[in-house]
C-alpha cells in the first residue's frame, strides 16, 4: 500500500512570495506619497492628536504649573482659528500675588519685561504632547522666558487644513499677536523643532525681508528641505524610504536609457507639493541663528544641519573653480585648483571657531557682518552678494551663526538637554540668571587662527575660544549684585 506525499512550497518560493508582497507594498506606499491627499497626511500627521481628547483649558493636567498658562485662540489673516498657549516666565509667575490668579491680566507685563520664545512644534500630536510640555517648562523656568506655543491649522482644535503657506501664515499670526499684545520684536526668539524649523525659518526670512525685528531663530533637528529629507528619511530610523530604489537599474539615472531623463526618484520628489525648502531661504535670514542636532537622530540625519550651516558660511568663502573635464585638465590647472581648495580651507579655519565640549558635543560658530570680513578687516568674496541681497542697500548688518552637534538627544529631546538650553540662554541674552559655584573647566578650542576671535560679544578663553560659562569679570559683577541684594 502506498501513499502520495504532496510536497509543500520550498523555502525559496516562500522567500520570493514574501519579497514580492513587500515590493508591492513598497511600490504602493511610494505611489500614495505622490497623491496630494496622502502626502499631506503623511507629512503633517495632524490626524494623530496625542494626547487624545485633550482639555486645552487645563494645561495643569499635562504638567504645567497652576495658572501659569493661558489658553486662547489666535485669528489668522485668512480667518482660521489657532489654539494657543501662553506660558509665563518663571520670575513673572512667582511674582504673582497668588497662584490662584488668572494669568491673562499679566501677559502684557510679562511681554514688556521678559523675552518671549515663539515655539513651533513638529508634525503629529498637539501642543499638550508630553515632550513639548517639557520644552515649555524648561524654556520658562531655566531660561526665564515667556513661551507662546501654537497648534497649526488642522492640528488639535485649530480650524482648517495644513499646507506650507498656511503654516507660515499661522506663524506670522502668532508673531503679530505678540507684537499687538505688547512685545518688542527684538525680544522675540523663534524656536522651531523638526517640521517647525521649516516654519520658523520661513517666518525669520519673511521678517528679515520686511526689516521687522526679532532676536534670532533656533532650528532644532532641522531638515534642509522636504525634497532632500525624502531622499534620506528612514521609517523608524531603520527602513529607508527612497534608498531601495538604488537597487533598480536607472531608478536614479536613466539619461542613457530613456529619452525623458525623469527618474523614479525624480518623479517622487517632483510630486511633492510641500517643499519647506529651508536651504533656499538661508540668504534672507539676517538674525542670529542657532542650529542644533543630535548625532543619534534616526529620523532626520544631522547632515541636514551641516548643509544648512555650510550654506550660511558659503558667501564668506572664496570660490573654487572645479575642472569641467578632469581628463584634459593640465598640471597648471590642477595646481590652481589645489591652491583654491587650500585658500578656501584656510579661510574657513580663520572664520569658524570650533569648540569641543566633552561628553556633550561640538560647537561651531562664526559671525557674518553683512559682507564685512572677520579676517583682519579685509572684505571677503561674499561682500557683493550680501550687499545685493540687502533691501535698498542699507547699512552693514551682523549675523552670528552657531551649529551645535550634540552626542545625545535623539530627534525629539534635543531641546530638553540642559546643555543646549544654556547655550541658547547665553547666545540670546536669556542667561545668566544664576551664579556658577565652581570655576570653569578647561575647554578644548580648535580654531580660529585669527587673533580676534571674539564672537558676537561672547566670552573668549585665553586660548581664543568661546566658553559656555561666564567670564571672571561677569562673575565678579554678578557676585557684587547678589551681595547688594542680600545685604
Q: Spell out the domain ranges in the chain.
A: 11-44+233-270, 59-232+271-432
d(CA 417, CA 264): 40
CA angle 47, 48, 51 (to 5 degrees): 130
55: which DSSP letter? -
Long-range contacts of 446-452 (CB under 8 A, 24+ apart): 446/354, 446/355, 446/356, 447/349, 447/350, 447/352, 447/353, 447/354, 448/349, 448/350, 448/351, 448/352, 448/353, 449/346, 449/349, 449/350, 450/350, 450/351, 450/374, 450/375, 450/376, 452/374
Reference 439, options 481, 472, 479; nearest CA is 472
Beta bridge partners of 353: 365
pTM beyond 0.75, yes or no: yes
CATH number for the domain formed by residue range(s) 59-232+271-432: 3.40.50.1820
How far is the C-alpha of 414 from the C-alpha of 418, rounded, in Å? 9
DSSP letter for 466, please.
B
**How confident is the prediction along the chain (487 residues), in pLDDT tens digits per residue?**
555 555 556 787 777 777 677 667 766 666 666 777 778 888 899 999 999 999 999 999 999 999 999 999 999 999 999 999 999 999 999 999 888 888 899 999 999 999 999 999 999 999 999 999 999 999 999 999 999 999 999 999 999 999 999 999 999 999 999 999 999 999 999 999 999 999 999 999 999 999 999 999 999 999 999 988 887 766 555 555 665 555 555 555 544 444 344 455 566 666 677 889 999 999 899 999 999 999 999 999 999 999 999 999 999 999 887 777 766 777 777 788 888 889 999 999 999 999 999 999 999 999 988 654 444 334 444 444 444 444 344 456 789 999 999 999 999 999 999 999 999 999 999 986 444 445 555 555 555 554 444 434 444 333 334 444 445 454 454 444 434 433 3
Amino acid at each position: 500500500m502506498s501513499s502520495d506525499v504532496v510536497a509543500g512550497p520550498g523555502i525559496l518560493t516562500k522567500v520570493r512570495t514574501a519579497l514580492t508582497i513587500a515590493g508591492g507594498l513598497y511600490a504602493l506606499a511610494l505611489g500614495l506619497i505622490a497623491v496630494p491627499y496622502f502626502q499631506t497626511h503623511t507629512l503633517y500627521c495632524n490626524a494623530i492628536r496625542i494626547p487624545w481628547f485633550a482639555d486645552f483649558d487645563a494645561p495643569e493636567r499635562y504638567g504645567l504649573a497652576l495658572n501659569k498658562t493661558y489658553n486662547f485662540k489666535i485669528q489668522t489673516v485668512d480667518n482660521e482659528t489657532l489654539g494657543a498657549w501662553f506660558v509665563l516666565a518663571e520670575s513673572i509667575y512667582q511674582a504673582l500675588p497668588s497662584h490662584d490668579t488668572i494669568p491673562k491680566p499679566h501677559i502684557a507685563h510679562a511681554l514688556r519685561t521678559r523675552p518671549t520664545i515663539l515655539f513651533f512644534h513638529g508634525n503629529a500630536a498637539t501642543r499638550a504632547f508630553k515632550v513639548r510640555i517639557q520644552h515649555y517648562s524648561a524654556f520658562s523656568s531655566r531660561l526665564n522666558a515667556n513661551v507662546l506655543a501654537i497648534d497649526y491649522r488642522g492640528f488639535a482644535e485649530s480650524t482648517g487644513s495644513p499646507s506650507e503657506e498656511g503654516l507660515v501664515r499661522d506663524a506670522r499670526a502668532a508673531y503679530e499677536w505678540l507684537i499687538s499684545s505688547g512685545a518688542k520684536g527684538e525680544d522675540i526668539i523663534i524656536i522651531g523643532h523638526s517640521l517647525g524649523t521649516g516654519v520658523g525659518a520661513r517666518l525669520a526670512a519673511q521678517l528679515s525681508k520686511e526689516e521687522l525685528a526679532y532676536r534670532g531663530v533656533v532650528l532644532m533637528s532641522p531638515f534642509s528641505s522636504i525634497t532632500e529629507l525624502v531622499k534620506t528619511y528612514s521609517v523608524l530610523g531603520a527602513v529607508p524610504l527612497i534608498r531601495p530604489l538604488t537597487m533598480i537599474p536607472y531608478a536614479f539615472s536613466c539619461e542613457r536609457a530613456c529619452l525623458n531623463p525623469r527618474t523614479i526618484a525624480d518623479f517622487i520628489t517632483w510630486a511633492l507639493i510641500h517643499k519647506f525648502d529651508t536651504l533656499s531661504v538661508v540668504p534672507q535670514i539676517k538674525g542670529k541663528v542657532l542650529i542644533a542636532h543630535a548625532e543619534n537622530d534616526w529620523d532626520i540625519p544631522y547632515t541636514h544641519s551641516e548643509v544648512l550651516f555650510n550654506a550660511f558660511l558659503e558667501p564668506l568663502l572664496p570660490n573654487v573653480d572645479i575642472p569641467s573635464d578632469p581628463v584634459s585638465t593640465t598640471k597648471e590647472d590642477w595646481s590652481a585648483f589645489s591652491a583654491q581648495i587650500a585658500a578656501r580651507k584656510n579661510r574657513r579655519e580663520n572664520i569658524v571657531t570650533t569648540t569641543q565640549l566633552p561628553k556633550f558635543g561640538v560647537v561651531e560658530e562664526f559671525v557674518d557682518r553683512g559682507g564685512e570680513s572677520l579676517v583682519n578687516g579685509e572684505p571677503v568674496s561674499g561682500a557683493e552678494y550680501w550687499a545685493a541681497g540687502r533691501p535698498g542697500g542699507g547699512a552693514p548688518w551682523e549675523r552670528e551663526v552657531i551649529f551645535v552637534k550634540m552626542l545625545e538627544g535623539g530627534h525629539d529631546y534635543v531641546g530638553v538637554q540642559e546643555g543646549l538650553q544654556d547655550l541658547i540662554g547665553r547666545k540670546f541674552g536669556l542667561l545668566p540668571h544664576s551664579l556658577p559655584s565652581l570655576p570653569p573647566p578647561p575647554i578644548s578650542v580648535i580654531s580660529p587662527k585669527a587673533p580676534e576671535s571674539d564672537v558676537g560679544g561672547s566670552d573668549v578663553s585665553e586660548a581664543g575660544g568661546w566658553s559656555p560659562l561666564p567670564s571672571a569679570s561677569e562673575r565678579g559683577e554678578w557676585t557684587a549684585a547678589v551681595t547688594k541684594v542680600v545685604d
